[in-house]
Amino acid sequence: MSTSSALTVLVVGATGATGRHVVSQLLQKNHNVRAIVRSKDRLLSSLGHILGKDLDNDSSQLQITEAAILDLSDDDLQKQVEGCDAVVQTLGHNMTFKGMYGKPRKLVTDSFRRLTNAIEATKSSRPTDGKNMRVILMGSDGVTHPDGTTDDKRPLSERVVLSIIRALVPPHRDNEAAAKYIYKDIGTDKSFEWTVVRPTDLIDAEKISKYVTHEKPVGGLFGDNTVSRINVASFFVDLLTSDDLWQTWVYKFPVVHNAEEKVASSK
């Protein structure tokens, strides 16, 4: 079963390398998008490049709020999620020294916590049609499933590398904390449903191609598999528009690869 009516989706991190593809693909499928970004001009420029046309700054299909999500008040954030069918967070740290080691250290976790709190605070205003809001968080296949049992144990060499990364790279700790928060603190008894998508090594591509999904990481930590950002965005949109696909991955941590990749064994 697929969703035929237009959705309203809030995208946080819309100017990022993956987020801009999420927005463009939703617009191409005639869905409505709300985006919270630091730079409206940067988003419109990126979308114009992807879509091959200039977008109307006042488009009724695209509503842009120019702000840092952590600077929005609780009331403002609740207004952003009101009336939405889904929320997608592709927000990440800039891979600069300031982005990785400056504040906010817990950008991903704190933003996601505020979003989910806003969703819960507005649950009484949502339709009582038995269909919960869908929430997608973008993670990484370097982040282990918080249940400690779903993922296979990585080789010693990879566990050592991850320990070093965890100690030296705050964004990795932030992604781990966000995964732990959604799994252990949110759980499955809220007014929304969620999934955490874990892409493998990200690359750029011009066109959507076939992708494959797995319940857990497969292959080595580095270099065995890749996935294009445009394919990750395609998986997000498919999750939002296909009830069957959503039911397959709800409350799970799917890993996504390009289909043409050869999945190498990590053992």
pLDDT single digits (tens) 128-182: 666 789 999 999 999 999 999 999 998 898 889 888 888 888 788 999 999 999 9
State the CB neighbour count (10 A cutoff) for residue 28.
Answer: 11
What does the block give as tokens for 178? 């966000």
In whole angstroms, give the CA distance from residue 128 to residue 222: 45
201-203 and 211-214 beta bridge pairing: unpaired
Query: So what's the pLDDT on residue 92?
Result: 77
pLDDT band at 261 (very low <50, low <70, confident <90, very high): low
Length of the chain: 267
Which 3-state string (H, E, C) describes 36-92?
EECCHHHHHHHHHHHHCCCCCCCCCCEEEEECCHHHCCHHHHHHHHCCCCEEEECCC
Query: So what's the pLDDT on residue 58?
Result: 53
CA geometry: angle at 4 spanning 249 and 116, to 5°?
45
Q: Which of 23-37, 68-82, 173-187, 217-231 has the lowest mean pLDDT?
A: 217-231
Query: So what's the pLDDT on residue 267?
Result: 34
Task: Report the amino acid identity of residue 61.
Answer: Q
> pTM for the full model?
0.90
pLDDT band at 5 (very low <50, low <70, confident <90, very high): confident
Helix, strand, coil in percent for the chain, rounding step 5: 40, 20, 40
What does the block give as tokens for 173? 């700790």
What does the block give as tokens for 223? 């270099």
Helix (H) or strand (E) holding 118: helix 107-121
> Do residues 219 and 142 make contact, with C-beta atoms less than 8 angstroms apart?
no
Q: Is the pLDDT of residue 108 over 70?
A: yes
Task: Report the amino acid identity of residue 9.
Answer: V
Q: Give the residue-averaged pLDDT of 233-244.
A: 98
Measure Cα distances from 44 to 13, 25, 69, 176, 238 in Å: 14, 14, 18, 31, 23
pLDDT band at 125 (very low <50, low <70, confident <90, very high): confident
225 dihedral zone (left: phi>0; alpha: psi -120 to 50; beta): beta
- Report CA 205 to chain centroid distance, whole Å: 18
> Which residues contact residue 149 at a Cβ distance below 8 angstroms, ignoring those fewer than 6 apart?
none
Q: What is the pLDDT of residues 177-224, one digit of tens each?
A: 999 999 999 999 898 999 999 999 999 999 999 999 999 998 887 767
In whole angstroms, give the CA distance from residue 106 to residue 131: 31
More confident residue, 263 or 98: 98
In whole angstroms, give the CA distance from residue 219 to residue 267: 8
Place of tokens 């296979």: 152
Shortest CA distance to 115 belongs to which of 140, 97, 96, 138?
138
Q: Give the residue-averaged pLDDT of 111-133.
A: 88
